[in-house]
Structure 1
């Protein structure tokens, strides 16, 4: 999870499909999967049916869980393997890394979305693509949380867009929502990397490394220590009690503090929704041209961005995830998550296998026609169904 501490005005980046560039992009993507994300093997299942739906010109959204930075690269590889002209909706921040990267992304059918505000350009682009039979990949979790076996609550945006498209399709065309489960398994050799990586993390916060402790105890001790630092930074003192209670308390107090300054959005109920609402309000104030903030006010606004970022970090850690089942993969995921939070990006020191399963497509057009989805409030019902299907897939990967 990366810090979003900027005041750049948002510029929508549309997809600009360049057929001549696609083979180059797919080749480069495979190298990224191999060299950066260490994906040695990609096992897939269920994509044959998706190809058939796309060939018919139906509207298809693929909705994967989002647990790793390699996720979109895996899906792009799947598009190349299965001859699917996949388009992607991606966070605006990936386009702001460099103009060259933005050009390459747009050439491969990727377009931007401002997750913190009503981005009508992104919504209209998504709908146009779907109505023209172009399959679209959208991540309903929105953020990368690094816990592959648990979903975070899904946003309703994916369902909402597809329902709008379903009502506009011509006779004979249908709208489909495809749950896609993704899981990354580490090579057993990753276990040998934990002691040194945990020592670097302990050293990063000023602790003397404890290589004699078990990996599990070191991870939990380190997590509690980092949480104490964050509690002291923002609340003035370290908390006590169960880890999950402390994480929830930190998240809630930080959000309440920022909402007390900038107001709250009654439609935002989950922590991620509340964070996005606050980022939108804060950035809007930072970019106010009629009454630009003073330098002191700018500093305070950036501090509030840091608070909501810390709140989202606290929300993203599941206190019992490692305790419930301390497997090699959960150890690996948690160490990577800690590395990202302390060093800005995780390590991928050993090879991994990516498992991707496309579940049975949900015939949204038929669900609407038969009354399974109500005319109003259908996005909530469809999102709940998607969440159930994704959980079923993750349970069997």
Structure 2
């Protein structure tokens, strides 16, 4: 996960697809997949059904899990492989890297969303695209990248809510479909040879003497526990004891409760990601208050609270038993990549990977509404639970 200490005003970036740039972008996208992310092969199934629905003129929302930075590039390639264009909803932060990046994203049919607040422009754009085109719209219901492909984080209801609203506006026989998409990455066995040197760099990064003679699994656990202890010392004043999962839950809850004690708690936000989003929204709204700007001291405190919220989400993103339960090659690789991102800013992809992508059976939302299987109002939670169950089964099968 990348640190977000963004106090800039938000400007919505709409999709402005340009045909000539899309053709160039597809070529660059495939090159980027191989060279930057090490994805040398795409194994996919189920996208023929998506193509059939698109050609029939229906509204399609693709909802993949989101565990790797290359996920959007994978989806662009697979949708294009079926002869379709795609639209994406993407976090505002990727548009704010540079003006060139923003222009390129818009030209590829990507539009921004502020994940920390009610972004009505993004919601209206998504609904409009579903209503007016049959090009698949891609939205990641997990919201964040957590680097654990075999476990889903709780899904946001926004995806289901958008599709339900769009379904109510469709005319002339056009129907709405929600398609779960499971993405899993398989690492080439040669990645194991890179583990020792990469762990040495991480150990050196925090001032430890590298231990290349220690078994890899022990080094991963030692490093992860050490990082957790550093964060506990930084925010709680002492390193915790007990199992890792309990310690992660404790620091997450302590940080969120501390910030909420100052800024208030949103009664509707129950999970850690929801609480973090609510806090980031309140903090940024206060930081950007033009009528009553914060003092320098208050501003520093608000930025510190952004860091606390980030650390809480970071702790939440580590599943204590994920690596311990099954110490497979892929889980070793994913855990090291996650540690690299947290310590070095971005993970490494040193050897080839295969992306296995399974588009599940499309969920006929319009038909379910017509049959009374989904309520027109208040059905987002039920549809989200259905999507979550189908996504989880796809990840197991991949």
Q: TM class by shorter-chain length?
A: over 0.9
Aligned twin of 1:163: 164
Aligned twin of 1:58: 58
Aligned twin of 1:34: 34
1:57–1:132 contact (8 Å) kept in structure 2: no
Measure how far apart 1:207 and its partner are: 1.0
- Which runs of structure 2 are paired with 1:156-195 in the superposition (5 Å)? 156-195=157-196
Aligned twin of 2:397: 396
Measure how far apart 1:376 and its partner are: 2.9
2:164–2:376 contact (8 Å) kept in structure 1: no
Q: Are 2:85 and 1:85 equivalent residues in the alignment? A: yes
Aligned twin of 1:378: 379
Q: How far apart in 1 are the matches of 2:20 and 2:225?
A: 51
SS of the equivalent of 1:20 reads helix
Aligned twin of 1:68: 68
Measure how far apart 1:176 and its partner are: 0.2
Aligned twin of 1:224: 225
Measure how far apart 1:375 and its partner are: 2.9
Structure 1 gap segments, 5+ residues each: none
Q: How far apart in 1 are the matches of 2:279 and 2:329?
A: 37
SS of the equivalent of 2:220 reads helix
Q: Which runs of 4+ in 1 moved over 4 A?
A: none
2:54–2:60 contact (8 Å) kept in structure 1: yes
Structure 2 gap segments, 5+ residues each: none
Aligned twin of 1:313: 314
- Which runs of structure 2 are paired with 1:4-19 in the superposition (5 Å)? 4-19=4-19
Q: How far apart in 1 are the matches of 2:84 and 2:156?
A: 25
* TM-superposition CA deviations, 1:157-216 (whole Å, max 9, x none): 000000011111114111000000000111100000000111111111111111111111
Aligned twin of 1:46: 46
* TM-superposition CA deviations, 1:210-254 (whole Å, max 9, x none): 111111111011100000000000111111000000000000000
Q: How far apart in 2 are the matches of 1:130 and 1:83?
A: 18
Equivalent pairs counted in the alignment come to 397
2:60–2:137 contact (8 Å) kept in structure 1: yes
Q: How far apart in 2 are the matches of 1:333 and 1:277?
A: 29
Aligned twin of 1:242: 243
- Which runs of structure 2 are paired with 1:98-177 in the superposition (5 Å)? 98-133=98-133, 134-177=135-178
Aligned twin of 1:208: 209
